[in-house]
Structure 1
Amino acid sequence: MSDFSRDRRRLLLGTGAALAGAASLPGRAQAQAFPSHAMRFIVPFPPGSGTDITARLFAKSIGDLSGQAVTVENKPGGNGFIGVQTALNPPHDGHTVFIGSNSTLTTNAATFRKLPYDPIADFAPITLLSRGACLVIVPAASAHRSLADLVADARKRPGKLNYASGSMSYTLYSEWFNEMAKIKTAGINYKGAGEAVNAVLTGEVDFAVVDATGANELARSGRVRPLAFTAPKRSIVLPEVPTVGEAGYPDYLAFNWVAAAVSSKAPPAALEQLGALFAKAAQTPEIQAYYRKQGTELIMSSAPELRRYQAEEIERWKRLMGITGIELQ
């Protein structure tokens, strides 16, 4: 289990420190010091994505708190490279913030042979904003009633069961589970998370590891069967679904997450002010209510915690790429 997942208390302390910093700002005068003009939040995905929704929630709150306009610019395509490059372009004054995800800030570093940026060296972390767990789902008519059933069947028939993957991140999540459960299953790639979920819905595949928010309604309606929730605690949306810990795999904590970062060339003072603004924004009723309703964790880590989390994930994915034989992109 990661240090990040083990030590929730440390995270809360980090959040508390950030909030203390925000509280110590001398009100309006400090807010005007930074940002000193309009800000841009760069999102490497289309409007309506989970990352985009998070960006817009924080943009509104930070705009209200700072008195400066905060616009959200969607720069989708190119595996996130377009958005990354936009965020890294000058000026490097901290007013351009990258709202990225695990794919752009960790997975790409492990899966591309030649990545045109370095998510560690080129970005200065601000905070891990939120993270959402996944569901392990099977078709509604599947004979697998539990994660134990799925694993037992896979062990009896190595390589015969298959899983749907909507992106490289989900391929890695699935292969990570294969490694933990000591099973071998075959991956089938689809064009996006929606198609992967649909492949389970129609029975084209045996199972999939998918973002919980995209499968909750199907699970509640009985159109797919959820076997496990990949978080330490049960989902408030699907409380009847056991956690992976309850199913025997406590270290399998697969999350999709959203984080804020800026160019590493930005001045340290701007990083401090941004951390304080994001922490303060997270306490607004609108943001608190949204994440409660979604059943998604509002993390608000410190910058060093985000950096450690990035490094840990990159190391894990590189190791899995090496042992699974998945071809680099």
Structure 2
Amino acid sequence: MNDAIQRARRRLLVGGASAVLAPLAGLAPQAARAQDKGFPVRPIRFVVPFGAGSGTDIVARIYAKAVGDVSGQPVVVDNKAGANGIIGAKAVLGSEADGYTVFFASNSTLTTNAALYRDLPYDPVRDLEPVSLLDGSYCVVAVPASSPYRTLADLLADARKRPGALNHAAGSPTYALWNGWLDDIARIKTTNIFYKGSGEAANAAMSGQVDYAIIGTGTALPLVKGNRLRALLYTGKTRHAQLPDVPTAAESGLTGYQALAWSAVAVRAGTPGPIVSRLEAIFREAARKPEVLRGLAQLGSEPLYGDAAAMRRFQLDEIARWKRLIASTGITIE
């Protein structure tokens, strides 16, 4: 799943200026044409399909200033929350295809909705033009601090003894799919309890309303450090620097499990190619700004910049993955 993203990350963070600027050379003619037409000449709007204070919203606001500085135009963050991102997607598709409305999206709106909903009122591949991948945050499997489960092995052993008895707090359908993926790899059966967002799901885990939750690392870190949650598993490929005692999925015998919350930007299909290329160049430059890197680090997130082509490949791979999982496990959300 992460090959394209890892290559993009290495290009941004390790390859240095030449590796980052080289892709821009091929975009120069198109970007120049877009500049000749004056794009952008007015404020850009980020449509965030989740509420203020959500992970996607916080990342959007980090990028808003950087994109404004690069483009020379102010950026307005417009939260259009509801229906697992569908309301925000429809708002973007109801706007002009002129590059001034940017869909600041995530897993749910660009991939998992396509796999989960039978009557999705938009097609994230056909109706949206990719601009770039931006960042990603791996997750932790966490239990209440008072839980009897001291290790992931404890939790899995109990789940195998009592199929369907253990409850997982799902902050969105994406989290439910991650849990279904965990069930599939670990060969267990658990029950998703749905909450309105990852914050409520984390609260449910802290209070003991559920047995465990899969939570984004940025949300989980202060709760684990404050002894309100106990982390049993980190879904990254290597241990997290701030959670050195928490094993990875591979170390726990769950090779291949990598629940990853990510952000990306897209525009309405039909947006002129030169404008899409200009936006791609703007986001590429914004992704390298120190204030963006600092902001993502504070969230426990990583810069995973990938251009439009990398984003499309990643999107298609993710959709295919979730469709296969749903077909094999029978997970339903509706």
Same fold judged by TM-score > 0.5?
Answer: yes
How far residue 6 of structure 1 moved from its aligned partner, in angstroms, is 7.6
Q: Which residue of 2 aligns with 1:260?
A: 265
| Aligned alpha-carbon RMSD (Å) | 2.5
Matches within 5 A, 1:303-318: 303-318=308-323
Give the secondary-structure state (helix, strand or coil) at the position aligned to 1:155: helix
Match among 289, 294, 300 for residue 294 of structure 2: 289
Q: Which residue of 2 aligns with 1:247?
A: 252
Quick check: 2:59–2:296 contact (8 Å CA) kept in 1? no
In 2, distance between residues paired with 1:226 and 1:6?
Answer: 28
Going from structure 1 to structure 2, the CA distance change for 1:85 and 1:7 (only over 3 Å counts) comes to closer
Q: Greater shift after overlay, 303-312 or 99-108? A: 303-312
Q: Which residue of 1 aligns with 2:149?
A: 144
Give the secondary-structure state (helix, strand or coil) at the position aligned to 1:12: helix
Match among 177, 195, 200 for residue 200 of structure 2: 195
Match among 135, 140, 155 for residue 135 of structure 1: 140
Indicate whether 1:68 and 2:73 are aligned. yes
Structure 1 residue ranges, 4+ long, deviating more than 3 angstroms after superposition: 13-33
How far residue 78 of structure 1 moved from its aligned partner, in angstroms, is 3.0
Q: Which residue of 2 aligns with 1:208?
A: 213
In 2, distance between residues paired with 1:215 and 1:185?
Answer: 21
Give the secondary-structure state (helix, strand or coil) at the position aligned to 1:247: coil
Post-superposition CA distance 1:216-255 (Å, at most 9, x none): 1111122211001111122233233222122222311001
How far residue 11 of structure 1 moved from its aligned partner, in angstroms, is 4.8
Post-superposition CA distance 1:102-144 (Å, at most 9, x none): 1111111111120110001111111111111111011222222
Matches within 5 A, 1:85-104: 85-104=90-109
Q: Which residue of 1 aligns with 2:22?
A: 20
AA aligned to 1:308 is R
Q: Which residue of 2 aligns with 1:8?
A: 6
How much identity, in percent, do the aligned residues show? 46
In 2, distance between residues paired with 1:71 and 1:183?
Answer: 45
AA aligned to 2:198 is A
In 2, distance between residues paired with 1:97 and 1:220?
Answer: 36
Indicate whether 1:218 and 2:216 are aligned. no
Give the secondary-structure state (helix, strand or coil) at the position aligned to 1:300: strand
In 2, distance between residues paired with 1:28 and 1:119?
Answer: 28
In 1, distance between residues paired with 2:217 and 2:312?
Answer: 25
Post-superposition CA distance 1:283-329 (Å, at most 9, x none): 11111111222221111112121112111221222222233333352
Post-superposition CA distance 1:13-45 (Å, at most 9, x none): 488665434588699998674323322111111
Give the secondary-structure state (helix, strand or coil) at the position aligned to 2:305: coil
Indicate whether 1:57 and 2:62 are aligned. yes
In 2, distance between residues paired with 1:29 and 1:119?
Answer: 27
AA aligned to 1:316 is R
In 2, distance between residues paired with 1:5 and 1:279?
Answer: 19
Unaligned runs of 5+ in 2: none
AA aligned to 2:193 is I
How far residue 205 of structure 1 moved from its aligned partner, in angstroms, is 2.1
How far residue 101 of structure 1 moved from its aligned partner, in angstroms, is 0.9
Going from structure 1 to structure 2, the CA distance change for 1:281 and 1:225 (only over 3 Å counts) comes to same
Q: Which residue of 2 aligns with 1:83?
A: 88
Quick check: 1:35–1:68 contact (8 Å CA) kept in 2? yes
In 2, distance between residues paired with 1:21 and 1:9?
Answer: 13
Quick check: 2:4–2:314 contact (8 Å CA) kept in 1? no
Quick check: 2:5–2:306 contact (8 Å CA) kept in 1? no
Quick check: 1:31–1:66 contact (8 Å CA) kept in 2? no
In 1, distance between residues paired with 2:121 and 2:139?
Answer: 29
AA aligned to 2:171 is G
Post-superposition CA distance 1:68-124 (Å, at most 9, x none): 222221111233222112212342122211101111111111111201100011111
Quick check: 1:31–1:65 contact (8 Å CA) kept in 2? no
Post-superposition CA distance 1:194-224 (Å, at most 9, x none): 2322222222222211122222111112221
Quick check: 2:92–2:268 contact (8 Å CA) kept in 1? yes
Unaligned runs of 5+ in 1: none
Match among 157, 167, 175 for residue 170 of structure 1: 175
